[in-house]
Amino acid sequence: MSNSSSSISHFLLLALADTRQLQLLHFCLFLGISLAALLGNGLIISAVACGHHLHTPMFFFLLNLALTDLGSILTTVPKAMHNSLWDTRTISYTGCAAQLFVFMFFISAEYYLLTIMCYDRYVSICKPLHYGTLLGSRACAHMAAAAWASAFLNALMHTANTFSLPLCHGNALGQFFCEIPHILKLSCSNPTSGNLGFLLLLLVYQLVVLCSLFSPMCRSSGLC
């Protein structure tokens, strides 16, 4: 292996088992997890979409949360199932980058949606008389759109920063899917020492995201 990330065409994911029997067992377990996630989140999405009495802000955000949960599982588990079934560990460089981006996209969206849902519960409990004003349908749609858009930009920033670092410590990842901490361990230098500017930019970005998430609610209440 050359001491340059330009020569890396694939990564080696973590092998969950050494024997064929355990690999098939892991495949069955991952298959069960995928089917359970698909069934559970699919029922939530169908119930909220079809039930008119569930067209409330809480269930609207719950529907979006189910999409993020389903997406994050289907991004990582199928590849692990493939590796267990066919007794392989490899994932291409571009495949790893794509998996990392999509996983970060859904995880970031989940965090932002959970933040919105926390405020939704706060308003419903502490300000019930203003609930309809603060959380109208338009404000909810704008906040959900801001959460998804912010998640996309956040995932793009993290993916670009991670794969811009030169890799000198092989291509073996200590995880069954592509994850930022394990890729950073392969970096030629200490990633925290050379990315202070990126961390500061990320902090400013998170503050901007919080403002974008709650600005529709602020405007609907007449506070801004």
Q: Give the pLDDT confidence score for residue 205 in this predicted structure.
A: 64
Note whether residue 2 is domain-resident: no
Terminal CA-to-CA distance of the chain, rounded, Å? 57
Q: Give the pLDDT confidence score for residue 124 in this predicted structure.
A: 87
Q: Give the pLDDT confidence score for residue 132 in this predicted structure.
A: 77
Backbone phi and psi for residue 15, each to the nearest 5 degrees, phi listed first: -85, 120
What are 81-111's pLDDT values in tens digits?
888 888 888 899 999 999 999 999 999 999 8
Nearest CA to 89 out of 39, 42, 165, 26 is that of 26
Note whether residue 34 is domain-resident: yes
Q: Which two tokens stand for residue 155?
A: 């995932």
Q: Give the pLDDT confidence score for residue 20 in this predicted structure.
A: 82
Q: Give the pLDDT confidence score for residue 63 in this predicted structure.
A: 94
Note whether residue 224 is domain-resident: no
What is the Cα 36 distance to its own chain's centre? 19
List helix spans (H) across the chain.
20-50, 57-86, 93-126, 131-134, 137-163, 180-184, 196-221
Note whether residue 1 is domain-resident: no
What CA–CA distance (Å, rounded) separates 45 from 42? 5
Note whether residue 3 is domain-resident: no
Domain range for residue 133? 8-219
The verdict on pTM exceeding 0.75 is yes
Note whether residue 189 is domain-resident: yes
Q: Give the pLDDT confidence score for residue 202 in this predicted structure.
A: 63
The residues of the chain scoring below 70 in pLDDT are: 1-6, 189-224
CATH code of residue 17: 1.20.1070.10
Note whether residue 200 is domain-resident: yes
Number of domains in the chain: 1
Q: Give the pLDDT confidence score for residue 212 in this predicted structure.
A: 62
Backbone phi and psi for residue 150, each to the nearest 5 degrees, phi listed first: -65, -35
Q: Is residue 220 a contact partner of residue 136, using CB atoms and an 8 Å limit?
A: yes
Nearest CA to 120 out of 137, 109, 134 is that of 134
Q: Give the pLDDT confidence score for residue 224 in this predicted structure.
A: 46
Note whether residue 41 is domain-resident: yes
> Residue 8: which residues within 8 A CB-CB, separation 6 or more?
1, 93, 167, 171
Q: Which two tokens stand for residue 44?
A: 């939530």
Q: What region does 175 belong to: left with phi over 0, alpha with psi -120 to 50, or beta?
A: beta
Give the number of C-alpha atoms closer than 13 A to the C-alpha of residue 81, restricted to the C-beta side: 14
Q: Give the pLDDT confidence score for residue 168 in this predicted structure.
A: 82
Nearest CA to 58 out of 110, 130, 108, 131 is that of 131
